[in-house]
Chain A
């Protein structure tokens, strides 16, 4: 019979996980940099932003090398064949075939296809000529993720920072070859024209890690200012034509109030690959720093329904738009909700219903600050 003490001992052993030396050094450096700031950097939902800016960094840790050498196009096809998002597959099927190639610093980037609708721009490209990916320090045998930096400009000259509210992507790697799909999501300019994508850096490790001890408090200049990363810098420039992005953009500003809480649908973007709704919460006599359409704070239960003429479109993800409470407008704290599939025909009645809400008044909450509210709140829009 296992005793209570034995179980506790086994639990302690199981959780006795320590990070690798490299991993701990990275964490030390990160915190040291934060401490070294003249004034603390106001938190702006850093995790969300990191998830947006460095999606490949996280995803890359989970990629296994397949071994067999196949072409970049085949790797891209594999990504979409395995995707669980119908909208993503549709975007790839409807994307413009480009096959544009640029070579610099011994690295060749091929822009294979591109697609745009009113919710997102998607590109698929391959990278050849990089040194093999180093193994990460996690001990899992996972390869270091491929990383890249690029600027996207729409036909009206705007950079993605001006219209994209988030980024996403994934990739597959083989020795010397990587296939990458990336999306920029947000209010895409509704016009046909010439898009520009310029890569400036690509590689398997942008960490810029410094060998030796660089713990908190280290004043070695190398620790304070790590050397440049192992990324390959260069210029890989592409211009390509895309047709007018499909979709319907509405700013309905319809509201629904239950008790003290008012939800306002400020924007609804309906396109073939995705449906995006921006919804703001305002609570009378209370600040709202964060909220969620669910009973409780755990993320896996959505009390939200999006229907179009009776057809349900499940929500799949979200992004906190007004992460800085000071940036909130009169409608309150704004979240953007996404689906993984869209519709070609937007006409008809759209109804978004949220049955329960949990919100908190400050970013660093305590459990007693969380407030649960019951609705339902129903937001209805008719598209002629």
Chain B
């Protein structure tokens, strides 16, 4: 049994304490925008915000989450996809298959909160999520666009 605060709502779930937060979010809470990609905190498809920090939910035990921790998933990032990162992603047609993009968007949103005007080096350091379609060039451009750094010329 755990009490979680997800996207501003308290949720009680009947679950073993060692269950990864990812699977609680997906299977018990029923929010499937947060994805399973590796289970070992390598790929970042499971990224969520916990108290404003981007975290890899596949490698956090639900038992280690406090009822007061504020968890935000992709579904709770904004109403109507209105977050600047989501708007930039749409403007530049970033996603291909889209499977990793929830995590990419959550990572980008967390980065911009800390560094509203990130440099390329900041993006390299913060955006470590894997995309197998290879959308990195557009992710970089979209982070800059969301930051209001303009849209660096794309070929």
Tell whether A and B belong to one assembly: no
